[in-house]
Every structure is written in C-alpha cells, then in structure tokens.
Structure 1
Amino acid sequence: MVETSIRPEEAAHFGAMAGDWWDPKGASAMLHRLNPVRLGYIRDRVDQHWQTDERSLKPLAGKSALDVGCGAGLLCEPLARLGATVTGVDAAPELITAARGHCKGRGLAIDYRACGVEEVQGRYDLITAMEVIEHVAAPADFLRNLTERLAPGGLLILSTPNRTAWARLLTITLAEGFGQIPRGTHDYDQFIAPEQMAALLDQVGLQLRDTAGIAFSPSRGLHLSDDLRLNYLLTATARS
C-alpha cells in the first residue's frame, strides 16, 4: 500500500464544501478572492522561468501541469486556458465530482483524479499546491513526493499561511470566527514559516527561487506584497 500524507479528517472537511465551491459568495469565497492573486504570481513566474512572451495567451502551451489539492478546479481551469495539459488531484472525491461537473461543457480537457499525489505517475513541467501543505500529515514527505513528480527543468509553486500571530489573527480568529472561512479549516500548529519551508525544500533537493507575500488591506483586499506575515507564495526548482 502506498503511504500517504492525506489526513482523512481534512479531506472530509473540504469535501463537505463541494456543493458551493464555485459560488464566489459561498463557503469558498476566500479562495475566489485568492485565485486572481495566485494566478498573477504563477503567470509571472512562468514567463520568467521559460522566458515566454508576456503578451501570449497560451504561455503554457506544450507544458504539463499538476495541481495537487485542486479542490473543484478553481486553479486547474485557468491553467488549462493558459495552454497546459492539466491533471488535478484531490483527496476528497466530492470535490473531484464537482470539478468534473464544472469543467464539462466548457471546452476544457482536464484529468481529474480522487487520490493523493503519491498515487500519481509521471512527471510534470509545472506543479502547483495552493494552501495544501498546511493540511497534510507529513510536510517533508509531501514535498518529496512533489519533487519526484517534477520534470527536469520544471517549476514548483506553493502557497501557505505563515506561522505568525498576524496570520492566526486574520485567518483563524477573524476569518473563521466571522464565517468568512468555515470553522476548523486551519490549525495554527500546522502553519509553516518561510525559513522552515526553505529548510524542507533543501532537504528534498529543491532550490528556492522566489518568495512573495499575499497581504490584505481594506483598500486593496488581497494582493501580492513584500509582506510575508499573512501568507506567502514560493517558487522552487530541482537543485542543479
């Protein structure tokens, strides 16, 4: 049997949100606000890494992408529109069912699978795992599995909350406390600080290439920033 980093209670928690995952005012509203910020960062990193034309509508044409912890496909669908051949995996079968249903009839061919990354075969040019590593049982093993599926010259992009009092206040005390995020979504003890993440990446043979913060302000909402206190994105490649 393949060992897995999936925590069944986490899969059940997110699976229960499948019914309104695509509703921008539903239980996943915060993900809808996060998604454009993530996409802006991913597009920039893709353009920088592969030296693609910033005006191109299909910068990922000819590239394969694996989105781990894909939910109901919020990130998979735009990655496919950017030209990638996309595989999305999630531990919650309910979310994969919702992802397939939403994708159907939209002219997108996305390979959705209800499984953990450990069960995925092959290698991918781009691997994304957004707000996932803080929900797995063994972050180092999870990163190792991502690394083993990264194609030569490939790009790994992650996002996760920082382990700070500010992140706990905004993410758990306020966002969960006032119902903007379902209660029980986050466990502060699972949050990973950037320096700890850098050490984990190094352990599995990855080289950190870039880090950017996702910050919040009343005037701008969620946006890319040099401020890493709340949440951060990172880019890594295999160490040469």
Structure 2
Amino acid sequence: MGDATTHSRSKSSGGQTIRPEEAAHFGQLARDWWDPKGSSAMLHKLNPVRLGFLRAAIDRHWGGDAASRKPLAGKSALDVGCGAGLLCEPLARLGAEVTGVDAAPENIAAAAVHAEGGGLDIRYMAGEIGTLDIGQFDLVTAMEVVEHVADKPAFLAALAARLAPGGLMVLSTPNRTPASRLLMIGAAEGFGLIPKGTHHWDDFITPEELGELLAEAGLEMGEPTGIAFSPSKGLHLSSDLSLNYLVTARRN
C-alpha cells in the first residue's frame, strides 16, 4: 500500500468510515444545497462536468448509444455521499433505479423532499455504507467523498462490495498537491467559494494512492481525468490532474 492512510487524520474504530464532525458539517449545509448561489454553488458548477465524464464512461462500459436519453434504463445505481441528491436526480433521469446514501440525516431529508417535488422515485438512506444491507448495483458513484472519510481502505472495500458483477464505479476526489492546497483551500475557502472547513488537505489522495487502494479492494482503476479551471472555460475536463480528478473502476 502507498501512503494514503499515512496522510489521513485519524481513523474511526469499529470499521466506521465517517467522522461525526464531517457529517455534521455537511448536515448544516442541507437547507440550501439546491440553491445554485448558496453554500453549494461550487458543486452546481462541478456537476455538469462530472456528468459529462460519467455519461461517456457509461456509454463506453455498456456500449450504449450516445444519443440515448436513458442509457441506464434497466440498471441500478448507488450514489454514496449523495448530499441532497445533486447527482442522484440526473442518474434517475438517465433511467436508473437510484439509491442515495449519506451520513447526514439532514441531507437525506432535503434530498427526499426535492426528489418528490420533481416527481422522481429515488430511495434515500442515512448511515454508513458498510452497515447497510442494500445489495449490489450496476453503477456505484462516490463524488467528492473519499477525501472526507476516516478509513479509506474500509470505505473503498465497502463500495467494492456494493458493485455488481460487470458493474462500473466512478469516483472523483481532489488530488493532494501544492496547487490543490493553494487553490481549493487557501483561495476557494478563503474567498468563500467553498464553506470553510469543507476540506482538509492532508486527507486528499493522489491517483497513485487511490489506484493502490482500489486494487486492494479487487478493482482495477482506469486512467484518471482531471477537472481543471480556467477563466475562459471555467471548470472543465482536462489532462491536468493537479486540482481534482475522476476515475472509473471495475472488477479485475
């Protein structure tokens, strides 16, 4: 194993992966999660970029029609660390039978209300993914979550256990680089673009470390794709991995 766990703060005991203070932090943001100008504004800007990567990965993995409006029809999807459903709802619109799991009950409540208002049938559950008996899923996603968990190997093993044979996993997370420390924490949190206390740079994980941990969980990681920022393009997919990156994973 690499030094992924060396850089994390403290592990929880008893196989728990969620730090109570992390759940509480995001629970406090639940009320305006769906406000594109609120505390989750950056996630609203990030979501279309993630969805572009995700849609392409889905089409490649299952050999689907890129023009299809419901490429996940007949498939099940699990979003872990779902917040108030910012990714769950597009997955449902892509045809999937969606389950969202989050550590903060406040987020689950906000997600359920928003989905009902949009006429979407999404199952939401609060709790630890490793302790929930919810079966396996064709698609498993965890976007901007790995950096918030205490025990990364246990968390990734729990995700792997939820992935059905022939399934696809998609993860996104910040990279641990000087650039991410400067821009994502120093600038973004310093100027209020992201709520203060959202990120802890020591918990960020490099692509190499993530690949090793996924391999230990029996998964093979695909080539990472970066999420970069420029004044002209805004947030966009890039070969630059220095800030944030997305990966696919599947069983070996």
| TM band (smaller chain) | over 0.9
Gaps of 5+ in 1: none
Moved more, 192-201 or 112-121: 112-121
Shift of 1:201: 0.9
Deviation per CA, 1:50-86: give whole Å up to 9, x if none: 0000000000000000000000000000000000000
Q: Which amino acid aligns with 1:167?
A: S
Shift of 1:2: 7.0
Q: More relative contact order in 1 or in 2 (CA 8 Å, sep 6+)?
A: 2
- Contact residue 15 and residue 154 of structure 2 kept, 8 A: no
Show the counterpart of 2:17. Answer: 5
Gaps of 5+ in 2: 1-12
Moved more, 63-72 or 102-111: 102-111
Show the counterpart of 2:210. Answer: 197
Show the counterpart of 1:70. Answer: 82
Q: Which amino acid aligns with 2:33?
A: W
Show the counterpart of 2:107. Answer: 95
d(CA) in 1 for partners of 2:203 and 2:181?
Answer: 11
Show the counterpart of 1:35. Answer: 47
Show the counterpart of 2:6. Answer: none
Q: Which runs of 4+ in 1 moved over 3 A?
A: none
Between the two proteins, the alignment pairs up a number of residues equal to: 239
With structure 1 as the length reference, what TM-score do the two structures score? 0.98
- 2:93 aligns with one of 81, 91, 103: 81
- 1:155 aligns with one of 151, 165, 168: 168
Q: Which amino acid aligns with 2:109?
A: T
Deviation per CA, 1:200-232: give whole Å up to 9, x if none: 111111001231000000111100001100000
Q: Does 1:124 align with 2:137?
A: yes
- 1:210 aligns with one of 216, 223, 229: 223
Q: Which amino acid aligns with 1:152?
A: P
1:210 alignment partner, SS class: coil
* CA RMSD between the two structures: 1.1
d(CA) in 2 for partners of 1:193 and 1:21?
Answer: 27
1:10 alignment partner, SS class: helix
- Contact residue 215 and residue 224 of structure 1 kept, 8 A: yes
- Contact residue 2 and residue 118 of structure 1 kept, 8 A: no
- 2:30 aligns with one of 18, 30, 44: 18
